[in-house]
């Protein structure tokens, strides 16, 4: 575990084994932050564990002084054949054409998850996690998907330079509209 200090929290890069050990804590934050129903954590756990095996996977965690998880962010190198990649490629191609899809999806880091305990939101933890996760990533772009609607996450993404790539997109199996946001890497300094 690589430690970095910032304010009242410690930011650490988790190894896949450390991520697995903290998975129940991480999923509890995810379910709480996203207002998902009970049972969601059990459904998501296998997917998150599979993500940790992907090329370029990286995870940053925010911990309080006692080592309690306050938030985490992870992602990996996106590529053809991955479910999210194929869904976004299909949406971009249908709406804007192959060239736009290729421009965004040819060399990117997928910011898969970023969540902060709702009681700790508004204290720069999310932005710190985002910046630390993306620091040194050797990809042209970073992409993410988020449910449509203005909230703290949207404010964070806009503040850090993310732009609309695809709006009001419906992923297979989810009735909610999502936005695909992206930006070139590296992030601008604060």
Domain CATH number, residue 106: 3.40.630.30
Task: Provide the strand spans (E) within 47-159.
Answer: 58-63, 69-77, 108-116, 141-147
pLDDT band for 55, please (50, 70, 90 cuts): very high
Reported confidence tier of residue 2, pLDDT bands at 50, 70, 90: very low
pLDDT of res. 19:
98
The pLDDT-based confidence of 3 (bands split at 50, 70, 90) is very low
Please state, in angstroms and rounded to a whole number, the distance separating the CA atoms of residues 170 and 73: 23
Phi, psi of 34 (to 5 degrees): -95, -5
Residue 1: pLDDT over 70: no
Average pLDDT value for residue range 110-130:
94
Half-sphere exposure of residue 80: CA atoms within 13 angstroms, side-chain side = 3
Find all residues with CB under 8 Å of 87, minimum gap 6, and list them.
Answer: 171, 172
Residue 52 lies inside a defined structural domain of this protein: yes
The reply to whether 169 falls in a domain is yes
pLDDT at 158 over 80: yes
Structure-block tokens of residue 150: 């203005």
pLDDT at 137 over 60: yes
131 domain residue, yes or no: yes
pLDDT for 132 = 96
Which DSSP category does 143 fall into? E
> Are the C-beta atoms of 113 and 30 separated by less than 8 Å?
yes
pLDDT of residue 97: 97
Q: Give me the half-sphere count of Cα atoms (radius 13 Å) on the Cβ side of residue 57.
A: 14
Evaluate whether residue 148 is within a structural domain.
yes
In terms of pTM, does the model score above 0.75?
yes
Check pLDDT > 50 for residue 51: yes
Q: How many domains does the chain fold into? A: 1
The strand ranges marked E within the chain are 2-6, 9-14, 58-63, 69-77, 108-116, 141-147, 163-169, 178-184
Pairing relationship of beta strands 108-116 and 141-147 according to DSSP bridges: parallel
Is residue 17, in this structure, part of any structural domain at all?
A: yes
* 190: in domain: no
Stated as kind and residue range, the H or E segment containing 86 is helix 83-96
What are the structure tokens assigned to 94, written together? 């249908």
Let me know if residue 132 belongs to a domain. Answer: yes
Provide the residue range defining the domain that includes 141.
Answer: 2-184
Question: How much is the pLDDT for 190?
Answer: 77
- Does residue 189 lie within any of the structural domains? no
Split at pLDDT 50, 70, 90, the class of 4 is very low
Q: Which active-site residues does the annotation give? A: 157
């Amino acid at each position: 575990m690589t430690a970095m200090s910032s304010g009242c929290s410690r930011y650490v890069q988790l190894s896949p084994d450390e991520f697995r050990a903290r998975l129940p804590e991480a999923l509890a934050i995810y379910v709480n932050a996203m207002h998902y129903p009970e049972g969601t954590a059990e459904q998501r756990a296998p997917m998150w564990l599979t993500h940790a095996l992907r090329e370029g996977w990286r995870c940053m965690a925010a911990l309080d002084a006692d080592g309690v998880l306050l938030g985490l962010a992870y992602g990996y190198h996106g590529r053809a054949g991955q479910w999210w990649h194929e869904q976004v490629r299909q949406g971009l191609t249908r709406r804007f054409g192959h060239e736009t899809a290729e421009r965004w999806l040819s060399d990117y880091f997928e910011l898969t998850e970023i969540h902060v305990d709702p009681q700790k939101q508004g204290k720069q933890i999310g932005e710190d996690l985002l910046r630390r996760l993306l620091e040194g990533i050797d990809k042209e772009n970073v992409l993410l998907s988020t449910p449509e609607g203005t909230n703290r996450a949207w404010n964070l993404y806009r503040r850090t330079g993310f732009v609309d790539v695809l709006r009001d997109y419906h992923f297979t199996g989810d009735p909610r509209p999502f936005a695909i946001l992206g930006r070139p890497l590296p992030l601008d300094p604060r």
